[in-house]
Each structure stands twice: as C-alpha cells, then as structure tokens.
Chains A and B, each alone.
Chain A
C-alpha cells in the first residue's frame, strides 16, 4: 500500500485503535488535517485552546486507561500544550502529542511559527521524537505508543516537519506491531523469592498499614489490591492520586493521607510497624517531614519505576514491576504466611485505629445561613450515589472532593495531583465524558480555576457534552487565602477574585444552562434538578462560605502525628 506521510499518520493511529484526536489546526498540520477529513474511524474533537486539547486527552486517558491523542500545529500550537504535557507527565498519564513542525529546509532558520518543540518539551515528557524522514514515520508512531503506554506511562511528543506530510509523495506503508526498542527495557517480574520475603515481612506485622497510590489505578490492579487487603484484614489509606483504587465505603479504608488527609490515616502511618507502599511515590504532600515519616516502620515498596525506590524515603524491601502481577503473587504467598499473623496484636491495632476514628476529623460546623462547601460535595455524593466521574481543578474545592466524595471505583476521580494545574477540570471532563458518553461527569471547580480554560464551554456545546460544572464559589482563591490566613497574618494579597463574571449568564451565552444556588435550603433540590438534565451542560454556580478552610491539615515541615483538626468542628477536640 502506497501512502503519503499524512495518510501514514492516520493509518498508524487507526492501527493503534485510536478513537479520538483532540486538536486544533494550523499551517504545519494542514496536510494531516486533510488526511483526517477522509478518515472515518477516528473522530476529531476541536478544542478552543491547545491547553484544552492536552487536558481533554489526559482526562480521557485517566477515565478509560487508553492513551489520549493530541494534534496541534507548530510554534504557538505546541507551546500552548506545555502545561498539559507537564500535567500528564507528573501523574504518569499515557498521551501522544503530534505537533507539526516547519518543513525541514526551514528548521533552524527562525521560520514563521517555528519553535524547538522537542527542546521545549524534553524535561516534561517521557520521551519525544523529531521525525527526519518519511520512512520512519510508521515506526516512530509504534515506538511512541509503546513508550507512552508501557512501564511507567507518560506523554510522548512526535514533532513532524510539514514537508514529510506532503500528500503528493507516497511511500510503502507497513505497520509492524512487534518492534523492539533496544534502549528501552521494562524490568522483568521480581523473583519469587523476593516476593515471598515481602509476604513474610508483611505477615510479621503487629501494626500493619497499606499505603496505595495512583500506580494501582494505572496498573489496573485495583481488584488485586482489594483482595490482598481483605485477605489480610489490614488498614489501608489511598493517596490523592489513588482514591478509588480501594473502595472508600469499606470499613478497612481509613481515608486519604497526607497534608489534608484524615487523622486516622496519618496517625496509623506514624505508628505502624510495617508499611506496604504500592504504586505511590512518597510525594512531599504525603510524607510531611521526611525525618519523621513512619519512624517505627519497616517499609516495603512495590513500584514499576526503579527510580521511585528510595528516592525520598529509604525503604527496606522493594518489589519492582507490574503492580497487578506482583500483588497477585503477593496474595498467593501471604496465604502461606497468614498463620503467622498475630491476631491479638492486629485486633489491638484496630482498636487503636478506631479510637482515632472517633475524633471524626472530617466533621464540620453546619449552617442554615451560608452554604458550607463540604455539604455541596456530600450532597453531590448523595444524589449521584457516589457513581459519577468527578474532575476538579486545584484548590480547596479539590481537597473537599477528595475528602467527601467517597470514591468506590478507580478511574472516577480525575485531578491534577502532581503538577496541581488550575484549568484542568473542564477540559478533563470533556475527555472523560467522551470516554463514557452515558455516565454522569461532574466538574467540581473554583471560581478562579474555571476561568483558566473557560473557552472549552464552546467545545462542550459543539459535541453535545452534558457535563455538570459545579463551582464552589467562595469569591477567593481559597487555598491561597487559607495559607495567607495561617502563614501571613491574614494579609490577603491578590487572592480576592475581583470582578467575577456572572457564571450563569456566561454559561447561557455559550448555549448552556446556567444556575445559581446560594441558600443551604435549596442545595439538594436545586442540585438534583441540575443533574437531572440528561442532554445539556449545566453550570451550577454555588455560592459558598468564603471563610471556610480545609481541615485537617499538617503544616509544612511537620510529621503525620502533628495534625491540626478543624477548630470549630467539635469544640472539645484539642489540636492534636
């Protein structure tokens, strides 16, 4: 079969089973767009800003575990993608970004819309390619998909000069699925012996704790995690990225850990004697002061990325490889050692944990005058029975979703944990809604964050995406205000959102339904009504208490046992 470079690109994407391309055209990719025009199987989603394309592809990937694909032009097209690529990279999300480049003869001449795409993206992606000849297009695409989706996943950029996509020059096309990249080796499964040793150590624990992160979701290992945890009857916590990997409604689940984690999860981390870390990377928002991290524990770390092991915290035992495979084997081995578990010690440990749980660290002062942001999330959870896909932006609202929307399934909670990118929520919801057209997709956001990619409301109309946007409108960059209250004596420098638009009207002007909720008594009824619109996007502007802070909180530089609980929640609780 003889094809042009552009046709080869489209055919390669088809061979990879690509369903959607999120993109925006421009000079350097017009040949590719022309080839796309004729392609039937692949649907193109026209965003309104290239940052939106990357976040949408990212949201799609997070929702359905398939790589998201982006197509943009050279120069400003690819520079607009930088934030989205870095966002995906920090959370290890598989993504392919195809960027046009000026024709080879102009590369390096400061040509119109020329930017050094591979140079700019090098530190924020798993890998990138600049294609040099037509013959290597197909192979480069195959390599890019292999690299993006295997091992620890991540974004891969393919930069392709315009002349290589010329429709008039055709070459032979063959797509070899099985190609080897000699410099790219995924580690083989850890030896049985090492897994057995880990199982033995786990079963010797008197105060065990399981700490599982986003690697469990990326590795599709949720079922295995649940089986192992249930089998052992051990307590478990999830990171922000891991929420949903273990059902939040289960009694062994202690909630999220870290800076805004629960009292019981953090105290159990501090006191445990064996910690099993799975697909988690000991982020500083999780560990707090690393010198005080799990001071009494032997640590076992399961991760697919060797460079994650002992990067932040020195561990005692590491199992490198696919989390799903390792958890399966670990379960088999723990069956053998289970008889060694000290049952009395474990019950005693559970009693201790239950005493921490009695603090009810997530309780908050209710109000009939102002809408408490936490109650919005609880109400959303109630209405949707905890079954929605929920995206968020970054700030207090993000933490409240993490704390109060009890996720029971993986891939439902979609947020920028690593980079903390405001503007992520709405485009990510586009990706998630396209991946699951019949599921309820909520975007819970802040009045500051939503403005960073608000233009994507237009995309939502074009593709008829019935996303429900809920702003927790506190008239502040709430998370910034909270830090200024705590650490800058209440000097609220530039954190007040002046001149906030009328979001309901704004949504209407984009062709959607806009609503405002400002009274606690209307909350459940109006939210139920908003969510009942099956085929329309509804933008619900919820006016919330502007003074509310996120609790519990570990101040920076403190250990897990030094949490602050909400001062007003339960008057008789002292600061821990």
Chain B
C-alpha cells in the first residue's frame, strides 16, 4: 500500500440539481474524504466546475477518477496534482484588534499582501488569496491575536499553459 497523498481534482459537471449530491455521495459511499470542495457555474451556465481536494493513495486515486468519470452527470474530470497547475484559495478572517494590535495586524496584512476589508472599534476583517500554504502561514503568523471567525473558500485549481479541461465531444 502506498501512502496517502493530497490530490486536487477538477470536475466539469452538468449544472443540474442533484449533481453535487451525486459527487458528494460517491465520496462517502466509497470511503473517500472530501477535504474541501468548491463549485460554481462556468461561462456556459449549464455547466458547473468543481475543485475538490482529497487525501488518498495512488490506487484509490485512480479508482476515484474512474468512478467520477462514470457518473452520468460528469462531463470531464482531471487530477491536477501531477501536472503543473495553479492553485488559489480565499480566506476571510475576522480577528479581534485591540488598539495595541492594530499596527501589528496592518504589518502582517501587508507582508502577506492581504487586505483589510472591514473595521469596527474592536475587530478587523481581512481578505487574503493565495495557495493554501500561504493561507495557513498567514493564520499561523497571527500568534496571540484572537480569531473570531474564519471562512475559507477551499482550493481552486487550473492547469498552467494552454492546457484546459474540455467538454468532451
């Protein structure tokens, strides 16, 4: 048995009701975990694009790709993991900001190229996009600053270069 590895998978699926639960159901029925999942319509609004991250070994990953492809609603599916690709995730973070912490927070947001998008007398809300590692590094760097609320979009992925996930003819 090989060890588990992170797999980031892109799926084009008919934007019909039930499609999402078919995919989510496949994961639970076949014993895969969904680490994160994002879904939204594409430029053709009859098609949705999903990006999904799961951890599993090679044999299970290859079986998963076949099972996803077998779903009648799935138009195309691709494991981006082993090809050059770009990943982005968005973080919305509400933190406590006492007067003393404001400078430090401002400095950290600058270093990570994050943005402060809402302010109250006791809180900051910060927006950050980047690969998942960057998001985690940012959260780590906050140290003693108290996080009130954390919202992550989950990873989005796209291949580099002219490669694309096509609608199979």
A: which residues have CB within 8 A of B?
118-119, 122-123, 126-128, 130, 147, 181-185, 305-307, 309-311, 314
Contact = CB atoms under 8 A, between A and B. Distances in A.
Given A306-B66, A307-B63, A311-B63, A118 B18 contact: yes
Given A127-B73, A310-B59, 11 more contacts: A119-B21, A122-B18, A122-B22, A130-B17, A147-B72, A182-B167, A183-B72, A183-B73, A184-B72, A185-B168, A307-B69
Contact of B72 (A119, A181, A310, A311): A181
A306 B67 CA distance: 9
12 contacts: A118-B18, A122-B18, A122-B21, A123-B29, A127-B72, A127-B73, A183-B74, A183-B75, A185-B168, A307-B66, A307-B70, A314-B59
A183 B70 contact: no
Contacts of B18: 118, 122, 128, 130
B75 A182 contact: yes
Interface in B31-80: 59, 62-63, 66-67, 69-70, 72-75
A307 B70 CA distance: 8
Contacts of B168: 182, 185
Nearest to B18: A118
Contacts of A126: 72
Nearest to A306: B66
A305 B67 CA distance: 10
B135 interface: no
A307 B64 CA distance: 8
A314 B1 CA distance: 12
Interface of B: 13-14, 17-18, 21-22, 25, 29, 59, 62-63, 66-67, 69-70, 72-75, 167-168
A130 B14 CA distance: 14
Contacts of B13: 183
Nearest to A305: B70
A118 B16 CA distance: 13
A147 B72 CA distance: 8
- The list of the 9 closest CB pairs from A to B, nearest first, reads A307-B66, A127-B72, A183-B75, A123-B29, A306-B66, A307-B70, A184-B72, A307-B67, A183-B14
Contacts of B62: 310
Nearest to B74: A183
A144 B69 CA distance: 18
A118 B37 CA distance: 22
B23 to A, nearest CB: 11
A400 B168 CA distance: 48
Identify which of B21, B62, B72 gathers the most chain A CB atoms within 10 Å of its CB: B72
A142 B21 CA distance: 24
Nearest to B13: A183
Nearest to A312: B63
Identify which of A119, A122, A130, A147 gathers the most chain B CB atoms within 10 Å of its CB: A122
B119 to A, nearest CB: 41
A213 B86 CA distance: 44
Nearest to B17: A130
Given A118-B18, A119-B21, A306 B70 contact: yes
B132 to A, nearest CB: 29
B66 A122 contact: no
A147 B14 CA distance: 16
Contacts of B75: 182-183
Contacts of A305: 70
A278 to B, nearest CB: 19
B149 to A, nearest CB: 30
Given A183-B14, A306-B66, A307-B63, A123 B74 contact: no
Identify which of B22, B67, B70, B74 gathers the most chain A CB atoms within 10 Å of its CB: B70
Contact of A122 (B25, B70, B74): B25
A127 B72 CA distance: 7
B120 to A, nearest CB: 38
A305 B13 CA distance: 20
A366 B11 CA distance: 61
A128 B16 CA distance: 12
A4 to B, nearest CB: 25
A119 B22 CA distance: 9
Contacts of B59: 310, 314
A186 to B, nearest CB: 11
A305 B70 CA distance: 8
Nearest to B73: A183
Contacts of A127: 72-73
A326 B165 CA distance: 30
A249 B76 CA distance: 46
Contacts of B70: 305-307
A314 B2 CA distance: 14
Contacts of A307: 63, 66-67, 69-70
Contacts of A306: 66, 69-70
Nearest to B26: A123
A447 to B, nearest CB: 34
A183 B167 CA distance: 8
B164 to A, nearest CB: 17
A123 B72 contact: no
A123 B167 CA distance: 25
Contacts of B25: 122-123
Nearest to A143: B72
A451 B35 CA distance: 46
Contacts of B14: 183
Contacts of A118: 18
A576 B158 CA distance: 57
Contacts of B17: 130
A123 B67 CA distance: 12
Nearest to A118: B18
